[in-house]
Chain A
Amino acid sequence: MQVFRTVISAFVFLFCALIFSSPHLLARESGEYIAIRKAGSGKIALVFSKPDAKGQTESGVAQELDTIIREGVDFTGAFTMISPPLNLKDQPENKSATLNFGALNSVGAEVYTGGKVEVNSGNISLDMEVYDTAAARSLFRKTYTGSREQLRSIGHRFCADLLELLTGKKSVFGSKIVFVSNKTGFKEIYECDFDGQRVEQLTNSRSISLTPALSPDGRYLAYTDFTSGRPALNIRNLTDKKTLLVSKNGVCIDPGWRNSSEVATTFSADGSQDIYLIKTDGTVSQRVTTTKGIDVSPSFSPDGSKMAFVSSRNGKPQIFIQDLKSGQAKRLTFNGPYNTQPSWSPAGDKIAYSTMEKSGEINIFVVNADGSGLIKLTQRSGENESPSWSPDGSMIVFTSSRQGTKKLFVMSSTGEHQRRLLQIDGDQMQPSWSLFRE
């Protein structure tokens, strides 16, 4: 990588952005770029310039977009941000001047992105271009439009394209997190954006609402509450806002979606807590487990063929994986006597879960779906619970008591960069990250 860059940066490239007018991702170049990056490692060194703007209105919008994009790319943890070199443009007074790739390379940039903002009768247009600085060429150019109210979405749509261009994968932008908070004095269900912004209260039952989970297509929210006097399952259609209450003798708790039309939940009508699959109309489509112990917390492989869950069939709670077709279940966890809360990664290769350790700490672990490659992601930070993967598998949201009361945190899928997600009152717990993106 270094050699490649040095050779290339020995030349001075003159480059005209206007040549590239295609709004579509230049797949060949992006593919090459990703292949080159794989030889290197870690974070992408990015120089991002505030979009150019002419008038006063445009400057204000550009300033806001600068913040949105900067915070957005920072949240992903995929970049090292480098300040633009002062001599970025060969002729600073000329906005359409040629980019000085020599200067970008000398500050260590791998990728440069910038663009311009225009505002026409309230409509915002953000024109962005992304460059491979070593090769001194454009990788991507696209125009994003919307109203002033959609500024966040405009900025994040660009961030999403930038991530996909450089990593070859879809990102977290546009995804949602649902969670429980007792902010009002009652445990209610809330929703926020992937980055903890735009918090919204979804239930107001003044009961105890628990374990929210959004269907993969984002059309339904399943959760447990006590409005009927006992813990029962609610399936809310988020389009028409109608909620179906699934209440049986015993508990109906802890839903986990298999796909957008089937959700697994624990019933105990026959006295034993077992997992059943039910349709969104509340009818049972299949009984999945039949053992005498407790079976809870279903989480499915992406193709829906396998289910990770917690079972006390051997005495203490451990995580098992069951093949839905054969009905065969295999124990996954062996580290300690209390392993619960499995979350299957969107790529299907890994399972995150929480372990209650001898010290009383609860910590989050990740293990391959075949039981190999166990790694510990949290330690010496109180109780760390309820892991849930981001839709791109790059991050995990979880609950931690490290600052006293329970709050939501995020970290990379390997445990790096652990930080608070939200700054709201009360305890927050049981986060669940959506698979869909808006």
Chain B
Amino acid sequence: MKKKINSMVVVALMMTAGCSSKSVVTPVAPPPPPAPAPVAVAPVAPAEPSGYGFDKWQRGPLGDVFFEFDSAQLSTDAQEQLKQNGSWLEGNSAKGALIEGHCDARGTSEYNLALGERRANVAKDYLVRLGVPSSRLQTVSYGEECPFTTDQNEEAWAKNRRAHFVVK
């Protein structure tokens, strides 16, 4: 069991190192917690708009927004989350955000890099229309390279199709 936990941590660290170190070292983020109990990861429904996102090290105030397969269109829930994110940014005008566009592992990697960018851009454009200055918002696409979870099922894919916010 111990060994399994260790290997999970190693895999998680490797993924993080290759992907978004920024989401690990956000100003408000505590250091990565010790190995979580592997069985205790309760699945969070992507539809919940309350959120802090699904990145286990992301303790920022900006929630992720989620997309349908092969889509960069904002659902009602996604728009609701962006409004919450927008009002936080309005009240914290010294802060900006890096918006990461992500895709699930289905489809092909090259196309997903472009799709991830469209997801990040559509989230950014929505915030700009809400009045957040575009100079405070940056975007980057990670395509399918940095999944939140490497599980391969509908629930995992739904969590991976996201625009993830990192406070800057």
Residues of A within 8 A of B (CB): 185-187, 206-208, 210-211, 224, 226, 229-231, 250-251, 253-254, 266, 268, 271, 273, 294, 296-297, 310, 312, 316-317, 338, 340-341, 354, 356, 360, 362, 385-386, 429-430
Q: Given contacts A185-B18, A268-B114, is CB(A356)–CB(B107) below 8 Å?
A: yes
- Of the listed stretches B39-47, B54-62, B115-123, name the one at the interface; the rest are far from the partner chain: B115-123
Q: Given contacts A230-B140, A316-B70, A317-B70, is CB(A296)–CB(B18) below 8 Å?
A: no
Residues of B within 8 A of A (CB): 14, 17-19, 70, 106-111, 113-115, 117-118, 121, 139-143, 145-146
The 7 closest A-B pairs by CB, nearest first: A294-B114, A185-B14, A273-B114, A340-B108, A254-B110, A230-B140, A253-B113
Q: CB-CB < 8 A to A429: which residues of B?
A: 109
Sample of 7 further A-B pairs with CB below 8 A, known A207-B18, A273-B114, A340-B107: A185-B17, A224-B113, A226-B145, A251-B141, A253-B113, A340-B111, A360-B106
* Cβ contact within 8 Å between B18 and A208: yes
Q: Given contacts A250-B117, A273-B117, is CB(A296)–CB(B17) below 8 Å?
A: no
- Cα distance, A179 to B60, chains bound together (Å): 37
Which of B19, B108, B110, B118 contacts A208 (CB under 8 A)?
B19
- Cα distance, A206 to B15, chains bound together (Å): 11
- Cα distance, A224 to B114, chains bound together (Å): 13
B110 to chain A, nearest CB (A): 4
Q: CB-CB < 8 A to A224: which residues of B?
A: 113
- Cα distance, A273 to B114, chains bound together (Å): 7
* Cβ contact within 8 Å between B114 and A251: yes
- Cα distance, A320 to B110, chains bound together (Å): 16
* Cβ contact within 8 Å between A294 and B145: no
- Cα distance, A187 to B70, chains bound together (Å): 24
Q: Given contacts A186-B18, A206-B17, A317-B70, is CB(A385)–CB(B108) below 8 Å?
A: yes
B153 to chain A, nearest CB (A): 11
- Cα distance, A310 to B118, chains bound together (Å): 15
A219 to chain B, nearest CB (A): 24
> Which residue of A230, A254, A294, A430 has the most chain B CB atoms within 10 A of its CB atom?
A294
- Cα distance, A253 to B142, chains bound together (Å): 11
- Cα distance, A186 to B16, chains bound together (Å): 10
* Cβ contact within 8 Å between B109 and A294: no
Q: CB-CB < 8 A to A187: which residues of B?
A: 18, 145
* Cβ contact within 8 Å between B106 and A296: no
Q: CB-CB < 8 A to A206: which residues of B?
A: 17-18
Q: CB-CB < 8 A to B114: which residues of A?
A: 251, 253, 266, 268, 273, 294, 296
- Cα distance, A207 to B114, chains bound together (Å): 18
Q: CB-CB < 8 A to B121: which residues of A?
A: 271
* Cβ contact within 8 Å between A310 and B110: yes
* Cβ contact within 8 Å between A251 and B117: yes
* Cβ contact within 8 Å between A254 and B113: yes
Cβ contacts A to B, 17 pairs, < 8 Å? A185-B14, A185-B17, A185-B18, A186-B18, A206-B17, A206-B18, A250-B139, A251-B117, A273-B114, A294-B114, A296-B110, A317-B111, A338-B70, A356-B107, A362-B108, A385-B108, A386-B108
B23 to chain A, nearest CB (A): 13
Q: CB-CB < 8 A to A266: which residues of B?
A: 114
* Cβ contact within 8 Å between A251 and B19: no
A379 to chain B, nearest CB (A): 18
B167 to chain A, nearest CB (A): 16
